[in-house]
Amino acid sequence: MTQAINLNRSFILIFVILIFSSCEKTIVPQWPEQTNETKPWTRWWWHGSAVDKTNLTANLEELAEAGFGGVEITPIYDVKGYEDQSISFQSAKWMEMFEFTLQEAKRLGLGVDLANASGWPFGGPWIDAEHACKNVQHKKYQLKTGERLKEKVEFIQPSLVRAVNKKVDISEVKFPIRSNTNLQDLALDQVRFEKPLPLQTLMAVNKQGETIDLTNFVNANGILDWTAPKGNWDLYAVFQGWHGKMVERAGTGGEGNVIDHFSEEATKLFLTDFDKNARNIDLSGLRAFFNDSYEVDDAYGDANWTPLFFEEFEKRRGYDLKTTLPALFGDLDEETNRRVLCDYRETISDLLLEKFTTVWADWAESYKTIVRNQAHGSPAAILDLYEASHIPETEGTSPMRIKMATSAGHTSGKPLIACEAATWLNEHFLSTLADVKQNADNYLRNGVNHIVYHGTPYSPVEEKWPGWMFYAAVHFAPTNTWWNDLKVVNEYITNCQSFMQNSTPDNDILLYFPIYDAWTERDRNILPHFGGSNEELTAEISNELLARGLSFDYISDRQIRKLNTSNGKIQAAGADYKTIVVPSCTAIPLETLKHLFSLAQNGATIIFKNEIPVKVPGLNNFESQQAEVKKLIGELEFQPEENYQSATIGNGKIMVGNDVKILLNASGVYGEELAQQELWYNRVERQEGTCYFISNWTGNEMDKWITLQKSGKTAVWFNPMNNTFGKACTQKK
């Protein structure tokens, strides 16, 4: 179907509902129902939690009047000059204010989410050094036949202190952290005290690869009681360090150590403080708990260890990491080094999913609530972290970063996919509502359907202009000059989200995210972090697909193993797709490749760019696995086509070639012309038919025919800026 597109510059967004009529029933177009979840929400900062009931009511009433659907309460650092009014985080008084807020929000028809921490990441004064985030350190010693180690087996952690926007000397900070009475003033970001680190293991390795565990031969003073047998021996000592990340910008009562995200015990300990203090609180108005991203990675060095790591590694990877320490630290041949490093990184990823994200989500369900989670920045397969979250949430402006959250939401059938919108668009009072709308449109075109502004500070009504402010803009508060006009933008977003929610994503392609290539590549950081502004693993092919209007969702290895095939369509829990594209990559797990071939056997089309990877990642049994991969590929009978080759396998086919557009077109997947005209768009399926979100930010008026990839009996324009709609001009091709 071809639509007559007439879009004015910048501010007009049009919906096209392609309505499918039948002899039994004709659907009459109308605006969908609006709820507090179709409206935009806002992050609501409680500075020092210095709140009172009168102003809580006044603030909530202002937000409701301005067209907001809900708030996310985030307790944050104290207000200078008002420290005596601060309420300690999760104290009895704090819980009283929280319960009152839930009641008032319910009265006003507003939803409420709560950040689990004051500041970010998760942590607080009740997290001791045992449960704080850790890092790994190592030392190497060398002995020959008959020699004994003369130096101590020890690692002295050097001191380190970093604070927010100020200099602090380590002499000003006491151990343990919670014993400091001036944490608000110190504003600590990361602290390490000079101290000897506990030994995790000491392994001796000779040139033949024989290993001896010497850990029990080291006494409490670090003296090794061992004489080297015949040969040359390298001794690897692994120590457990304290990473030192502090909860950033916490308010009174929330300052302290960040948790060990790879420890179930640490996660549960963190959550017990809320359990203890919320026993007699009515939480019936609470929708979700919130995590403001991982953000341990913005400190000096990685948090990359947990006390049970050796045991967890062997359970998951099938061999003892202690016997391969030379490879972990880069001292063996390059291939072995890469394989062991990949296994180490995958284990960290597994632990972050299983010991933090899943544990936290299960805990929330015990309160009959859900979690809203920002997984980006994590040293893990973030598609899996997002899938484990009830509401995945993203931030930033890069389509690839946004699509990490929306893809996981689409494939797993999440009804809501959120974003932290309008963060740092400009300094305070310099961002315009056009900036806000453009930012919102960028999220909507990439699959977000639940806008959460960043954000609104609680502020007493009697406070002089500009009121209380959070350091990061945009300032969505009554003291902003455009506050009275914000309701127009909020109504626009509400209208958009009323269509984008209660719909099914309609993307054609699943794009494999080849995370094992990143896990196998050694770089300056022992842990790569994912979900940044531009994912190098897929940047080239992602940009190509977006530019050509070829709609896609990312898919992980775990998620691929859950896919099915029916009538040639690839079925995920939340949507159907026409094909899977595997970008050019070096390594892919045998289990993933076998499932891709199985999908093809049952009727799917699987596309490989350039070639089918023949390497499997990891160390355990990799030779036999690679032999099986070669056998699977060798059984394919490829036929040369123009510019590519294809092989029939069961009811489906495998296609391999260099030009993804040609491969996709040959499999019946074509790009939307909207993208070639630089129009932003998103396509979903609703009960009424296919819905196109279209937004013009080219700066030029668009008045021409546009061919759409979906068709129907008729089409209707909806303009969410002014609530008008009408029949569209169409012509068949």
614 domain residue, yes or no: yes
The tokens of 591 are what? 């289990």
Token pair in block for residue 162: 């970093």
pLDDT at 14: 59
Site of tokens 């990061």 = 472
pLDDT at 22 over 50: no
Give per-residue pLDDT as tens, 35-73. 999 999 999 999 999 999 999 999 999 999 999 999 999
Out of 351, 375, 399, pick the residue that ends a domain: 351
What is the residue type of 245? K
Q: What pLDDT score was predicted for residue 578?
A: 98
Residues 410 and 515 in one domain: no
DSSP category for residue 245: B
Q: Please give, one letter per residue, the 3-state secondary structure of 646-679.
A: EEEECCEEEEEECCHHHHHHHCCCCCCHHHHCCC
Same domain, 263 and 170: yes
Q: Is 25 inside a domain boundary?
A: no
Smallest CA-to-CA distance from 174 within 193, 196, 156, 154 is with: 193
Average pLDDT across the chain, whole number: 95
Q: Are 346 and 369 in contact (CB under 8 A)?
A: no
* Average pLDDT rounded to a whole number, residues 644-664: 97
CA 700 to chain centre: 35
CA pair distance 117, 308, nearest whole angstrom: 25
**Domain shared by 630 and 685, yes or no:** no
Side-chain-side CA neighbours of 327 within 13 Å: the count stands at 22
DSSP3 helix / strand / coil % (the chain, rounded to 5): 30, 25, 45
Helix H or strand E encompassing 457 = strand 450-457
Residue 33 lies in a domain: no
Q: How confident is the model at residue 3 (pLDDT cuts 50, 70, 90)?
A: low
Residues 6+ apart with CB under 8 A from 684: 499, 500, 503, 504, 505, 506, 690, 691, 693
Range of the domain at 718: 2-20+672-731
Structural domain contains residue 202: yes
Q: Is residue 638 part of a domain?
A: yes
Whether 249 and 163 have beta carbons less than 8 Å apart is answered as: no
Cβ within 8 Å of residue 657, ≥6 positions away: 607, 609, 610, 643, 644, 645, 663
Whether the pLDDT of residue 11 is over 50: the answer is no
Q: Write the CATH number for 54.
A: 3.20.20
Taking the model in full, what pTM does it have? 0.96
Both 653 and 710 in one domain: the answer is: no
Q: Is residue 343 part of a domain?
A: yes
525 and 486 within one domain: no
Is 476 in the same domain as 515? no
pLDDT in tens, 471-521: 999 999 999 999 999 999 999 999 999 999 999 999 999 999 999 999 999
Calculate what percentage of the chain has a pLDDT beyond 90.
92
CA 652 – CA 499 distance, rounded (Å)? 35
Q: What is the pLDDT averaged over residues 226-233?
A: 97
Domain end: 351, 375, 390, which one? 351
Q: Does some domain include residue 32?
A: no
Least-confidence region, from 228-237, 294-303, 416-425, 580-589:
294-303
Mean pLDDT of 211-216: 98
Contact in structure between 437 and 474 (CB atoms under 8 Å):
no
**160 with 306, same domain?**
yes
- Count the domains in the chain: 4
Quick one: average pLDDT of 255-267?
Answer: 98
Of residues 378, 337, 336, 377, the one with CA closest to residue 356: 378
Stretch 464-470: mean pLDDT = 97
Per-residue pLDDT at 533 exceeds 60? no
Chain position carrying tokens 């650092």: 77
* Percentage above 70 pLDDT, the chain: 96
Residues 430 and 509 in one domain: no
Residue type, 692: Y
Q: Indicate if 472 and 617 belong to the same structural domain.
A: no
What is the structure's pLDDT at 710? 92
Residue with tokens 């899943």: 358
Is 128 contained in some domain? yes
Examine the pLDDT at 23 and tell me if it is beyond 60: no
What's the pLDDT score for residue 21? 52
Same domain, 361 and 451: yes
Rounded distance, CA 92 to CA 554, Å? 44
The pLDDT value given to residue 211: 97
| Amino acid (1-letter code) at residue 723 | N
Residue ending a domain, among 320, 351, 382, is 351
| Burial class of residue 8 in the structure, from the number of CB atoms within 10 Å of its CB (0-12 exposed, 13-18 middle, 19+ buried) | exposed
Residues 203/214, Cβ–Cβ less than 8 Å:
yes
Q: Could you tell me if 299 and 322 lie in one domain?
A: yes
| CB distance 264 to 359 below 8 Å | yes
Let me know whether 481 and 532 are in one domain. Answer: no
